Amino acid sequence: MNESHFLHGFLNPKSVAIYGANNKGNSLAGLQIMNLIKSSYEGKVYPIHLKLESVMGFKAYKSIADIPEIPDLVVIVLPAKIVPQIFRECGKKGVKRIILISGGFRELIGERKNSLTEQINDIAKEYGIRFIGPNCLGVYNNWYRQEEEYKSFNIFIWENLKRSKFSVASQSGTLSCHIWYDPENLDLGLSRSLSVGNEANVDIVDCLEYYKDDDYTEIIGLYIEEIKRGKKFLELAKEVTPKKPIIAIYVGGSKAGNRALQSHTGSLAGNSKIYEGVFKETGIIQTNYVQEFLDIALIFSKGIIPKGKRLGIITNSGGPGAMVANNAETHGLIVPEFSDTLQKELMSNLPSTASFKNPVDCTFDMDLPYFYITLPEILMKSGEIDAIIQYGVVGFQEVLDEYLKYDQIAKHAEFQHQPDEIVDKLAQKLLQPTMKNSQKYSIPIIYINPMNFNAPWSKNLRKNGAILFRLWDRPVNALARVCEYIQYRSKFQAKY
Amino acid sequence: MNESHFLHGFLNPKSVAIYGANNKGNSLAGLQIMNLIKSSYEGKVYPIHLKLESVMGFKAYKSIADIPEIPDLVVIVLPAKIVPQIFRECGKKGVKRIILISGGFRELIGERKNSLTEQINDIAKEYGIRFIGPNCLGVYNNWYRQEEEYKSFNIFIWENLKRSKFSVASQSGTLSCHIWYDPENLDLGLSRSLSVGNEANVDIVDCLEYYKDDDYTEIIGLYIEEIKRGKKFLELAKEVTPKKPIIAIYVGGSKAGNRALQSHTGSLAGNSKIYEGVFKETGIIQTNYVQEFLDIALIFSKGIIPKGKRLGIITNSGGPGAMVANNAETHGLIVPEFSDTLQKELMSNLPSTASFKNPVDCTFDMDLPYFYITLPEILMKSGEIDAIIQYGVVGFQEVLDEYLKYDQIAKHAEFQHQPDEIVDKLAQKLLQPTMKNSQKYSIPIIYINPMNFNAPWSKNLRKNGAILFRLWDRPVNALARVCEYIQYRSKFQAKY
């Protein structure tokens, strides 16, 4: 839990006071209170409002002084210029933690300090307050009640998310929050999310330090526009990456990118070459793409880490097989031609039109237990590969069901709709042995079904723990990045 | 329609005979007959089967000789070794067009000819037969009945697809077919699809020739493993690209890629440098990614072609704005800093925390008509940009609806559920002026909503003709490729 770290209290407050909250659905602070309700927050909630008697059913207070205890955490969504006064009131009350959502402190000036930022920093120092922000969105803790999934401490994510051990710290609110807004297409889940905004007091380095020793964080995602404490970051990252992968989006380098950064958080654009050097030196996986950021985390999230970069490809269609092979090599994976022994073993079971060299192309004419169980097992046991991508795990029952809707077909076709329980059992029977083998041999297997990600068979695969993609571009690129990291990490394996 | 081209008959047959068809749902030929039924094919269907009396309700014939007319098209799904005999029977009957689905002719040998391929080529020549395949999946024509959408001539795509003017020719069955299996997440639609397989007789160059003068083809997609008639391809491509964009996936170059190709279609691996040179010289847009292939086609499919590579970015969140700006420049787009005049115009309407330089960051505090109508219009009118990417078109009503499910919120919140008609009207009101401006100024606008692609607001945007993406990586990359093509094409603009 890393309870000794100061950020622990921000993620596990027993009571929260919110400035700026009202009953309007389109106000930021209103949304924050609604999120507390939605995620079943069990602590005390104290809205602070000059006029309202209550906010979303919680008794409102005219000032922080009126609240009957010292709130564990204070959230502020108010115009920048009155924030110093609020900070002082909080300090006098004895508050030690503030999340400052409001913008307008620094991002417009483009300098390290302006008087407002200086003022709040001075007040914070005077009263021993730590604060996150300004210009941030909040914090999220999906393990707030460890025994109860879907209870979280959450002021800023609209969706109830699956739990995982992927934790994020981000200098952009969107990257800490909006990217989770389609949970039905995202198997990744989330552990904690920290939106750090302009980092006047708490920075991304603090977050990394917290995640380093946090039992509920096994994979770390960072969105970086600027690192203020470079030396400390470097030190920490070197300590973390041999144990926990860090995936980082770094924005900067291009002219327009730098201009955007300056408007956004007011960061002085860094030299992207220096950042890239730091990432490389510390084994941080850098990406420019938010989808890749999520994909890499998804592969890690299953906890099955490949030992090397040799990819085995199973397919029932030549085109995707060829594209996967080609892109894999282009991105630094190895697609070895299988040994004669292995080819012979495969040949004895596959139809004559199949091919066995890697990719293994079973053609359309395939036998399901062989395709889902035996074939991956033969490859995993062979010692010739470190990861598998398997194309063509289509939901054939759904296809047939679609045809059965047509009278003319229903009357004559020699097949029938299978009840869901039977399909569920089939999925379990076909998938579970391979999931176990994947764990046993530490060989991740990535499935690709070109049908809808929420089609019945796709859902069945996902329910059984499979890593599933709809098309074959993304998993190759993400796996290549995972394997680069593995190579970096292998240098330390003797130590850990 | 290009009725004079020999491929026209393959896409518009008045009658089809099918060898290998049966009543089993899991046989390829069974699926083909079911697809004819599903897509309301109105021509005659003649299954050929030695024992069955009928197949899916169609009277079956013991041999092609028994069929009461000469079928316009014959489809064969039978083991390779009996195909020469079938070809001869077809020839004797007077058949002129065959689609040969079966594999096993060449792909295992790895040479240009083997005796089976030679045999069928000789027979085809003798009887004046043109044939597609072997080792292909079929053909698809979404304009078979021009007056009726969702009636098509289709033997191989399971889904009913939206019509468009995007036509595909592919040496991989999957790329001509499986990539359409999630139509609810794909706004692209399809015109024609030709799976050419091993090209023993009809090749991808024939397809390109057909599409060149086809009124129902405005964008061409090719999946290429090998081009056999290089000179003719070069000539044709040069003629086509000034009028119709060609998007090509070429697989080859890596060792494993080449090995996969050889197993797949038996292609002798080409020199990827030569292919890349040809694509560059002829203005073909090359991509290694199937998703990008579809994304580029989607942008073209709206018919609004940018005049240059200057990108305007509208956002309500700094992170995506910065990432779009950075990736855009990295991929060759220009993200110009706006002129003082334009910045002043923007400044007068946006909140003080906004930024105006490009990206334009409206922050969370935005006014919908300004965000959806005025702001894009100001940019389009300015003459300073050629395309727009707009982040943050979220479905706020859906978010609020989610909160209203919680009793405590419903009791107190000062907002309420809006009926669908009102939201529909709002979408129309906010979107239509911008869709018109986009057309008027020839400036494509791409929207990004991080919520589910089928969430109500996303559906509303799509229904109004918007190009929508869920995250911001893909549209930047695809737009960059579109703009490269525009630059190529601009050389010819005087001529056309």
| Chain segment B17-61, per-residue pLDDT in tens | 999 989 987 788 899 999 999 999 999 999 999 999 999 999 999
Phi, psi of A442 (to 5 degrees): 55, 45
A374-404 pLDDT per residue, tens: 999 999 999 999 999 999 999 989 999 999 9
Span B368-396, average pLDDT: 96
pLDDT category at A268 given cuts 50, 70, 90 is very low
Does the structure show a pLDDT above 80 at B376?
yes
A146-160 pLDDT per residue, tens: 887 778 999 999 888
Q: Worst-scoring range by mean pLDDT, A346-360, A384-398, A445-459, B197-211?
A: A346-360
Does the structure show a pLDDT above 70 at B106?
no
Do the Cβ atoms of A251 and B326 come within 8 Å? yes
Q: Worst-scoring range by mean pLDDT, B71-80, B156-165, B421-430?
A: B156-165
How far B357 CA sits from the closest chain A CA (Å)?
Answer: 8
Q: Chain A residues with CB inside 8 Å of B458's CB? A: none
A132: closest CA among A87, A109, A101, A90?
Answer: A101
Average pLDDT value over all residues in chain B: 92
Most confident range (mean pLDDT) of A186-195, A343-352, B360-369 is A186-195
Task: Judge whether B169 is closer than 8 Å to chain A, CB to CB.
Answer: no
Does the structure show a pLDDT above 80 at A365?
no
How far B68 CA sits from the closest chain A CA (Å)?
Answer: 23
Task: Judge whether B348 is closer than 8 Å to chain A, CB to CB.
Answer: no
Task: Judge whether B252 is closer than 8 Å to chain A, CB to CB.
Answer: yes
Q: How far apart are CA A211 and CA A241, in angstroms?
A: 11
Span A22-44, average pLDDT: 91
Task: Judge whether A327 is closer than 8 Å to chain B, CB to CB.
Answer: yes
User: What does the domain layout of chain B look like in residue ranges?
Assistant: 7-300, 304-490
Q: Chain B residues with CB inside 8 Å of A327's CB? A: 288-289
Span B279-299, average pLDDT: 97
Do the Cβ atoms of B317 and A28 come within 8 Å? no
pLDDT given for residue B241 in this prediction: 97
Span B122-143, average pLDDT: 96
Does the structure show a pLDDT above 50 at A58?
yes
Q: Chain B residues with CB inside 8 Å of A471's CB? A: 179, 290-291
A331: closest CA among A390, A285, A378, A281?
Answer: A285
pLDDT category at A238 given cuts 50, 70, 90 is very high
pLDDT given for residue A385 in this prediction: 98
Q: Chain B residues with CB inside 8 Å of A329's CB? A: 254-257
Instruction: Calculate the alpha carbon distances from B220 to B167, B202, B232, B284 in Å.
Output: 5, 17, 17, 10
* B148 touches B41 (CB < 8 A): no
Q: Worst-scoring range by mean pLDDT, A103-117, A179-193, B290-304?
A: A103-117
Name the CA dihedral angle for B415, B419, B422, B427, rounded to a multiple of 10 degrees.
90
Does the structure show a pLDDT above 90 at A26?
no
Cβ count near B407 (within 10 Å): 10
Q: Chain B residues with CB inside 8 Å of A38's CB? A: 402-403, 406, 409
Do the Cβ atoms of B290 and A473 come within 8 Å? yes
Q: Which of A174, A358, A415 to mutate to test the interface with B (most CBs of B within 10 A)?
A: A174
Q: Which of B28, B59, B178, B346 to mutate to test the interface with A (most CBs of A within 10 A)?
A: B178
Interface of B with A in 5-64 (CB under 8 A): 22-26, 28, 30-31, 34, 37-38, 54-57
Q: Name the residue among A288, A403, A414 with its Cβ closest to that of B38.
A: A403
Class of domain A305-490: alpha beta
pLDDT given for residue A209 in this prediction: 98
pLDDT category at A274 given cuts 50, 70, 90 is confident
Do the Cβ atoms of A319 and B223 come within 8 Å? yes
Helices B318-330, A255-264: inter-axial angle, 10-degree rounding: 170
Q: Which of B329, B337, B353 to mutate to test the interface with A (most CBs of A within 10 A)?
A: B353
Task: Judge whether B137 is closer than 8 Å to chain A, CB to CB.
Answer: no
Task: Judge whether B370 is closer than 8 Å to chain A, CB to CB.
Answer: no
Determine whether B439 is exposed, middle or buried from the number of CB atoms within 10 Å of its CB (0-12, 13-18, 19+). middle
Span A419-424, average pLDDT: 95
Q: Can B7-300 and B304-490 be said to share one CATH topology?
A: yes
Task: Judge whether A358 is closer than 8 Å to chain B, CB to CB.
Answer: yes
Task: Judge whether B289 is closer than 8 Å to chain A, CB to CB.
Answer: yes
Q: Chain B residues with CB inside 8 Å of A394's CB? A: 178, 181
Query: Nearest-CA residue of chain B relative to A366?
Result: B26
Do the Cβ atoms of A257 and B325 come within 8 Å? yes
* Sequence-ordered strand ranges (E) for B279-435: 285-287, 311-315, 360-361, 387-391
A196-223 pLDDT per residue, tens: 999 999 999 999 999 999 999 999 999 9
* B101 touches B134 (CB < 8 A): yes
**Prior bond of A134 cis (ω within 30°):** yes
DSSP A163: B
Do the Cβ atoms of B288 and A326 come within 8 Å? yes
pLDDT given for residue B496 in this prediction: 46
Does the structure show a pLDDT above 50 at B155?
yes
Does the structure show a pLDDT above 90 at A261?
no
Q: How far apart are CA A84 and CA A116, in angstroms?
A: 7
pLDDT given for residue A334 in this prediction: 97
**CATH architecture for segment(s) B7-300:** 3-Layer(aba) Sandwich (3.40)
Do the Cβ atoms of A108 and B353 come within 8 Å? yes
The long-range contacts involving A87-91, CB below 8 angstroms and separated by at least 24 positions, are A87/A119, A87/A120, A87/A123, A87/A124, A87/A127, A87/A129, A87/A131, A88/A123, A88/A127, A89/A63, A89/A64, A89/A65, A90/A64, A90/A127, A90/A129, A91/A123, A91/A124, A91/A126, A91/A127, A91/A129
Q: Which two tokens stand for residue B396?
A: 């706020």
Q: Which two tokens stand for residue B340?
A: 């003082």
Task: Judge whether A303 is closer than 8 Å to chain B, CB to CB.
Answer: no
pLDDT given for residue B355 in this prediction: 83
Determine whether B456 is exposed, middle or buried from the number of CB atoms within 10 Å of its CB (0-12, 13-18, 19+). middle
- Report the relative pairing of strands A246-250 and A166-170 from DSSP bridges: unpaired
How far A394 CA sits from the closest chain B CA (Å)?
Answer: 10
Name the CA dihedral angle for B149, B150, B156, B158, rounded to a multiple of 10 degrees.
150
Q: What is the CATH number of domain B304-490?
A: 3.40.50.261
pLDDT given for residue A300 in this prediction: 97
Do the Cβ atoms of B172 and A408 come within 8 Å? no
DSSP B153: E
Q: What's the ipTM?
A: 0.95
* A207 touches A7 (CB < 8 A): yes
pLDDT given for residue A496 in this prediction: 45
Do the Cβ atoms of A413 and B25 come within 8 Å? yes
Helices (H), ranges, B194-271: 204-212, 230-240, 255-264
Do the Cβ atoms of A413 and B23 come within 8 Å? yes
Span A342-353, average pLDDT: 85
Q: Chain A residues with CB inside 8 Å of B259's CB? A: 325, 337, 357-358
Do the Cβ atoms of B474 and A291 come within 8 Å? yes
Q: Name the residue among B54, B403, B450 with its Cβ closest to that of A182.
A: B450
Residues in Cβ contact with A431 at an 8 Å cutoff, skipping those fewer than 6 apart: A372, A460, A461, A464, A465, A466
pLDDT given for residue A263 in this prediction: 64
pLDDT given for residue B272 in this prediction: 80
Do the Cβ atoms of A288 and B330 come within 8 Å? yes
Cβ count near A7 (within 10 Å): 22
Do the Cβ atoms of B56 and A413 come within 8 Å? yes
* A446 touches A320 (CB < 8 A): no
Q: Which of A40, A101, A178 to mutate to test the interface with B (most CBs of B within 10 A)?
A: A178
Does the structure show a pLDDT above 50 at B268?
no
Query: Is A16 strand, coil or helix?
Result: strand
Task: Judge whether A110 is closer than 8 Å to chain B, CB to CB.
Answer: no
pLDDT given for residue A310 in this prediction: 98
Average pLDDT value over all residues in chain A: 92
**Prior bond of A433 cis (ω within 30°):** no
**pTM for this prediction:** 0.96
Percent of chain A with pLDDT over 70: 95
Do the Cβ atoms of B252 and A178 come within 8 Å? no
Helices (H), ranges, A348-395: 368-369, 375-382
Q: Which of A34, A391, A457 to mutate to test the interface with B (most CBs of B within 10 A)?
A: A34
pLDDT category at B270 given cuts 50, 70, 90 is low
Does the structure show a pLDDT above 90 at B492?
no
Q: Name the residue among B172, B292, B451 with its Cβ closest to that of A318.
A: B172
Query: Nearest-CA residue of chain A relative to B23?
Result: A413
pLDDT given for residue A474 in this prediction: 98
